[in-house]
Amino acid sequence: MKRQGIAEALRDGIAEEMTRDSSVFCIGEDIGVPGGWGGAFTVTLGLSEKFPGRIIDTPIAELGFTGMAVGAAMMGMRPIADMQYGDFLFLASDQLINNAAKMRYMSGGTIKVPMVMRAPIGATGRGSQHAQSMERYFTGVPGLKVVAVSTAYDAKGILKAAVRDDNPVMIFEHKLLYGSKGARAEPGAVDATSDIPEEDYVVPLDRAVVRREGQHVTILGWLLMAHFAAQAAEQLAKEGIEAEVIDVRSLSPIDYDTIGASIRKTGRVIIVEEGPKTGGVSAEIAAGIMEHCGESLQAPVVRVASPDVPVPFSPILENAYRPDVARIVAAARNLTQG
Amino acid sequence: MKTTSAIAAPAQDRAFLLGLYQRIVLIREFEERVKFLFLEGTMPGTIHQCQGQEATAVGVCAALQAGDYITSTFRGHGHALAKGLSVQELLDELFGATTGCCKGKGGSMHMGNMDKGMVPGIAIVAGGIPLAAGMALAFKLQKKPQVVACFFGDGAVAEGAFHEGVNMAAIWNLPVVLVCENNLYGASTHIGKVMKNPKISDRAASYGFRGETVDGNDVLAVLAAAQRAVEECRAGKGPVLLELLTYRRTGHSRRDACHYQPKDEREAWFARDPITRFAEVLLARPDVQQADLDAIKAKIEAEIQAAVVNAQQAPQPTLANLTEDVFA
């Protein structure tokens, strides 16, 4: 057992998978440059020395290297593609959505595309174009699996499950949760370290996880919002409100078994999402809740999300943009007292 | 444009040459029959056809070996037949039948069969180029001697995906033959409107590898150029860009009457039709008679007729098939 942050846990997970299976390789920008950073958030630091020729640094060509990952995956390789910032996924989206996601269906079930796309997201003092919550743009694409990791334990286990999966899997990571060190450390980082077992393990790609049990209200979140939801629950407990916190984790498919069981117990639900309220994943989850367990609700679904504006730069505005513990606590108070 | 063919060694063989002729005529007859079925209203969907461009597909695919792959476009019927997909599996696919090469889930724009070395057509212009480069990267990482031939049109050269995929193929010397079928039009727009330098093969030099412009209506010239390119790619000296000059005799899609193609231009290209030109080459040989060519065509017509009858009775999908094949 060792204590690790997400960046370290992902690094070990990648190294272990590359050792286990020679078809696994990494492709992306600035991920293996000697004297470089090992990717923007140090996840692949040192791996190019350990795996010569298998950490492939590309030109700045997101559409191109994503397409190459799809093509290599079709030919039996298991690429782990690294999108330096999630925002750049818009450039790569043709290859992800039109090729990776559809190839199996269009071919009548004969082609496999076992690729992983990792992408960091989150508003972190970088202005509008290195900050967006990108998961919403991919959760509605049939043929893609979409997951979001908020702890080091999950990051390693989900990475391994994704590499071993025969389908394209998108893993969203949050810049404030990596625990990147040295010059790549993030101001305002949140502790997402875990005790990591020595032995091999995987975390399933289709399961939410209950982080805290409670009977008054269910709070759903993922990535940074899962941490803020847990912090909110601690505060609420002091007021006598016991919140059940669920890290949704699997964004496509969504685990309505776990979510539904909680709502049938609490009768109330708040969905917390970093990202604009309109068209977000929380809208999909809200609709899914109505279909799966709407009869158990004692009050309407509540969403706590960012306003419908681009991510601002000014720290004051950025902090106002992103849902925080206070907003979650206030929403829970309203909902449970109503 | 080259007017003489550099005939490679196997290309001198009578049976081999007649095989090429059979493939070219097969594609023409297949496309003409599909056009009829579509206009008649019995075939669903839309179609993008390749009448006039048959020699590019046949010449390139004849230079490939079993185990090599091609990627194609929305205009892929000819590529499929040239790569060895059967008339039956293609017609079944066009009719949406479960016996089609993609179980009726691909359709005209996504013809393919991985067992025969053809990725389902990528119908987003230039979308197959990074994909093919990635396939070639896999061959390199796996230390396999395979090659991928990536077909695209002149329109693809304007796409960012062309630049990104070609650049990475270049810097890693990947075994991909970049086959640009330059038929002068991206849909209805002439290349003169969208390219300052219309000689597409010139682009290769800017990426640091070899490009070549070839008479794409001369199947033997295409074959010879493709053989050179495949050999270089297999030797780790890829990629190679082949610009194959050709012409689309039919519309971009559906009922396009090609009013944007000037009459004199059409006539000039019709006079350079790949079938009649290759027939002349063959008939100049003492061991090939017109009767041989007629027999090939008659056999093809019979094969297609039988396949159409089968395809029209082929099993259609059930609703249960709708949600199958999304995930592996």
Q: Model confidence over A114-145: pLDDT tens digits?
A: 999 999 999 999 999 999 999 999 999 999 99
B9 pLDDT above the threshold of 60: no
Domains of chain A (ranges; CATH) run 2-196 (3.40.50.970), 209-337 (3.40.50.920)
d(CA A275, CA A294): 24
**Whether pTM exceeds 0.90:** yes
Query: Looking at chain A from residue 93 to 122, which residues have their Cβ under 8 Å from any Cβ of chain B?
Result: 94-95, 98-99, 103-112, 114
User: Which of A45, A89, A48, A43 has its CA nearest to residue A69?
Assistant: A89
- DSSP-assigned letters across all residues of B60-110: HHHT--TT-EEE--SS-HHHHHHHT--HHHHHHHHTT-TTSTTTTSS-GGG
Task: Please compute the mean of the pLDDT values over residues A47-60 and round it to a whole number.
Answer: 98
B245 Cβ contact list (under 8 Å, min separation 6): B1, B182, B213, B214, B215, B216, B217
Angle between helices B14-40 and B87-94 (to 10 degrees): 20
Q: Are B213 and B174 contacting, i.e. CB atoms less than 8 angstroms apart? A: no
pLDDT tens across B223-267, in order? 999 999 999 999 999 999 999 999 999 989 888 889 999 999 999
B107 Cβ contact list (under 8 Å, min separation 6): B45, B93, B94, B96
Query: Minimal Cα–Cα distance from B168 to chain A, Å?
Result: 7
B321 pLDDT band, cuts 50/70/90, is: very high
d(CA B325, CA B222): 37
Ramachandran region of residue B98, left (φ > 0), alpha (ψ -120 to 50) or beta? alpha
Taking the Cβ of residue A144 and every Cβ of chain B, the question of whether any pair is shorter than 8 Å is answered with: no
d(CA B180, CA B175): 16
Beta bridge partners of A118: A82, A171
B209 Cβ contact list (under 8 Å, min separation 6): B170, B238, B239, B240, B241
Residue of B nearest to A145 (CA): B327
Task: With beta carbons under 8 A apart, name residues in chain A contacting B327.
Answer: 104, 143, 145, 166-167
pLDDT tens across B177-187, in order? 999 999 999 99
Q: The tokens 């925080």 sit on which residue? A: A324
What are the tokens at A297? 């609700």
Domains of chain B (ranges; CATH) run 9-312 (3.40.50.970)
